[in-house]
Amino acid sequence: MSGSTSTGGRGQAPALRSRVVGTGSATGCDGMDLRLYCGSADPELGKSVAAKLRTPLAKRKLQRFPDGEVHVRLEETLRGDDVFILQSTSPPVDQHLMELLVMVDACRRAAAARVTAIIPYFGYSRQEKKSAGREPITTRLVADLLTCSGVDRVVSVDLHAPAIQGFFNIEMDHLTAVQLLIEHLQRHRGEDRVVVSPDTGRVKMAERYAHGLGLPLVVLHKERAETGRVEVHKVIGDVRGLRPIVIDDMITTGGTIDEAVRALLEAGARPEITVAATHGLLVGKAMDRLANPAIAEVVVTDTVPIPPEKRVKKLLVLSVAELLAEATRRLHDERSISALFSPRYNHHPV
């Protein structure tokens, strides 16, 4: 019978597509074993984090029924363990979010002592407020879903809006990859560079880059036209004869970057622009826009997996594996994670 399934060990096994990943755990000073699971969003990042923790990924089967429903089975006992689940809610966002919720539920029903969701890229983070009437605050909804599923703590990197931390009634650790990006940009620092915030909403983040690099800061003022297109109306600061470093937390379709490049060139900037962002979603026309010859380099991290066909010559991907591994290690040992905001943790391209 097409689409029929059975569970609980009775009847025939479900007609599912499945795959299995490794097994292993590490014991911390609190006596609980650490187990690291990884969803399907970014298995390579999961393997890298596990390698730095020197523990194999915990074994699980991730399956899908013929109608697309996700099914997860944990392949080993984790009663009383300290479980960490690594899963970005990157595109397809809904699929990866639901997969994460199901994995958390499976861990809870397997009597895990504590469950931490490591979400390098937190999807739905743009919808953290009502911009107009009759709109949802979907970020809060996702926070509630995670809490109700049984998550004890959430770890994420460079949230689109830092205020999202306040949406959680459970522990929420907000890590940043800004220092990682600054360390790379310092190798190409020069007196003819300038940090550019693409809009007023990214000024605080841009100030961190400017301070870390010892460079001046320029802010672009943009407005949304009646057509819905974002347009830069003013460049606040001087970019004449300078090589800009445009920063952002994410690059989605590249529309904001495209408009920023146009405005900077019109203001007299040199056509040797660097773009730096934590999350490289790179959907839609993003790759075409980043192919602009005025853009010399694009630097992102692997919080979102970058497929081989998008790894063009000018795109550099830095790994957050060491950052996430050290956060996991410290949280498991009940130690402070404040040291993770220092330049101590050096990272390398992947």
Tokens of 340: 């993770």
Name beta bridge partners: 217.
195
Phi-psi region of 124 (alpha: psi -120 to 50; beta: other; left: phi over 0): left
Question: Rounded to an integer, what distance in angstroms lies between the CA atom of residue 91 and that of residue 284?
Answer: 12
**Which of 59, 222, 313, 314 does the annotation list as catalytic?**
222
Question: Rounded to an integer, what distance in angstroms lies between the CA atom of residue 128 and that of residue 124?
Answer: 8
Alpha helices in 177-254 (DSSP H): 178-185, 203-213
Nearest CA to 323 out of 115, 89, 52, 121 is that of 52
Tokens of 84: 């960490």
The residues, any chain, with a CB within 8 Å of residue 62's CB and separated by 6 or more, are: 18, 19, 39, 40, 70, 71, 72, 99
Nearest CA to 106 out of 60, 140, 143 is that of 60
Question: Rounded to an integer, what distance in angstroms lies between the CA atom of residue 39 and that of residue 97?
Answer: 10
Tokens of 18: 């499945």
Nearest CA to 38 out of 54, 17, 22 is that of 22
Nearest CA to 241 out of 264, 216, 215 is that of 264
DSSP assignment of 42-65 equals -HHHHHHHHHHHTSPPPPEEEEE-
Does the annotation mark 47 as catalytic? no
Nearest CA to 84 out of 102, 103, 111 is that of 103
With contact defined as beta carbons under 8 Å apart, do 274 and 297 qualify? Answer: yes
SS3 of 13, please? coil
DSSP assignment of 92-129 equals SHHHHHHHHHHHHHHHHHTT-SEEEEEESS-TTTT-SS
Q: Where in the sequence numbering do the catalytic residues fall?
A: 222
